Amino acid sequence: MTASGAGTAPWTGRLTGSGSGVSVPVATAIVVADMIGVGVFTSLGFQVKDIPSGFSILLLWTVGGIVALCGVFSYSELGAMFPRSSGEYNFLGRAYHPAFGFLAGWVSATVGFAAPVALAAMAFGEYAKSVAPDLPPIPLAIGVVWLVSLVQLTGVRHSATFQLISTILKVVLIVAFLVAGFVIGMPQQIAFTPQPGDLVHIVSAPFAIGLVFVMYSFSGWNAATYIIGEMKTPQRSLPRALLLGTLIVLVLYVALNAVFLYSTPVSALAGQLDVASVAGSAIFGDLGGRIVGAMICVGLISSISAMMWIGPRVMMTMGEDIPALRVFSKRSTSGAPAYAILLQLAIANLLLFTRSFEAVLDFIQFALLFCSFFTVAGVIKLRITDPDIPRPYRAWGYPFTPLVFLLVTAFMMYYLLTERPLQSLSGMLVMLSGLLIYAVFRRRPVAVAASPHRE
């Protein structure tokens, strides 16, 4: 079995078709919902401690969005070339070797999505306390995960409707908050145009470190690649959904940080974790915390929904390729990969009960960045080794956009290795242990392998 090359597919198993119905608006909603979690509502307080400049802060978030767009262009090329659900599992297997794809898929299918689901659910429970203080966070967290999972089990059609409505509501609430902040908020002495001294902030170490955490807030820009097989005309729809979703989030992130700085003194924001509640109190008074808490809770429902949709598709696709996992490839009569959804639900519940999701996230961050790095590098590799594979979409700005993404991702991996060496290396060992699982689960190629030129 070859990694790639003319004539022989690097992958075996049943290929999903070109999609049965997920539209561009729904795929865009998945991207937006997966990206906007709690990161943008908690990062600013630590950034303004070392970068007390409105222009520099907004530039920091703009740069983060541009780097995410660089990743979008590369993933769009791969997704249009190989329109199969499962993200990095598909891309790394195609560009390098199925074993590499399996490592990425194993992490994603087990804890890569379940841990963020558990974290978002726990955040939902905590923010709900600001609205109703007597409600216990753990039961609320478990309840919201079960509710969203039940929606996913009803099938793609209902999942798409729920995702679109919840994401639109999320964006509407954020826009309403932005309008209220700029209209009724008390303007602060903050400049959003370049000022003397801004260059010092922009080239400083805190700016570079701040970019690491901004990029975490932008993670999820590749969400639609996990459901390519369910999209209508994915060669055209995927690039549009990734680009539109990332652009929407970029605008919202910059605007949110602008309204936080516009309406709230920097001294009140500096060092605060819950900057959204601080800004909400500055804008709305005593009710500000409850208003912001309700807004974030609604937004987290759409985020959990997106992750409970796309995460099980990794295990579903792995089940199509690997006999030992075949049960997870089975779909219900409504088209939902029921066993894969139930597996992610069970893992998310286990992480919530044991309160171990934060530790798991620490362990897998480096591994996830590692997979994204080599996925984008795969675009360059395939341009060199397989230039004749049809490319319905070609990465805009190639080779500069992939190189920008690779440079920033490499810096993020370096930062994690130096700041969290034990967690980073342990996460890589966990991923590499998947080689043993792959050796047990793998099978010989089927008699007639699909050519990558037939996708």
Number of structural domains the chain divides into: 1
Tally of helices (H runs) and strands (E runs) in the chain: 19, 0
Q: How far apart are CA 346 and CA 452, in angstroms?
A: 35
* pLDDT of 311 higher than 60: yes
pTM for this predicted structure: 0.90
The dihedral formed by the CA atoms of 140, 136, 218 and 65, expressed in degrees to the nearest 10: 110
For residue 197, count other CB atoms closer than 10 A to its CB: 11
pLDDT confidence tier of residue 130, bands split at 50, 70 and 90: confident
Provide the residue range defining the domain that includes 46. Answer: 39-442
In a domain, 188, yes or no: yes
Give tens-digit pLDDT for 154-204. 999 999 999 999 999 999 999 999 999 999 989 998 989 998 888 999 999
Give tens-digit pLDDT for 143-162. 999 999 999 999 999 999 99
Contact 235, 83 (CB under 8 A): yes
Give tens-digit pLDDT for 227-280. 999 998 999 999 999 999 999 999 999 999 999 999 999 999 998 888 999 999
In a domain, 8, yes or no: no
Q: What percent of the chain has pLDDT over 90?
A: 75
Q: How far apart are CA 14 and CA 94, in angstroms?
A: 14
In a domain, 230, yes or no: yes
Question: Residue for token digits 């726990």?
Answer: 122
Give the mean pLDDT of the chain: 89
CATH at residue 59? 1.20.1740.10
Contact 351, 115 (CB under 8 A): yes
In a domain, 120, yes or no: yes
Reported as half-sphere exposure (CB side, CA atoms, 13 A), residue 133 has a value of 1
Reduced 3-state DSSP string for 57-87: HHHHHHHHHHHHHHHHHHHHHHHHHCCCCCC
In a domain, 428, yes or no: yes
In a domain, 370, yes or no: yes
Mean per-residue pLDDT for 352-370?
89
In a domain, 29, yes or no: no
pLDDT confidence tier of residue 446, bands split at 50, 70 and 90: very low
In a domain, 129, yes or no: yes
68 closest CA partner among 372, 327, 298:
372
Residue 165: its pLDDT value, please? 97
Residue 5: its pLDDT value, please? 36
Give tens-digit pLDDT for 86-127. 999 999 999 999 999 999 999 999 899 999 999 999 999 999
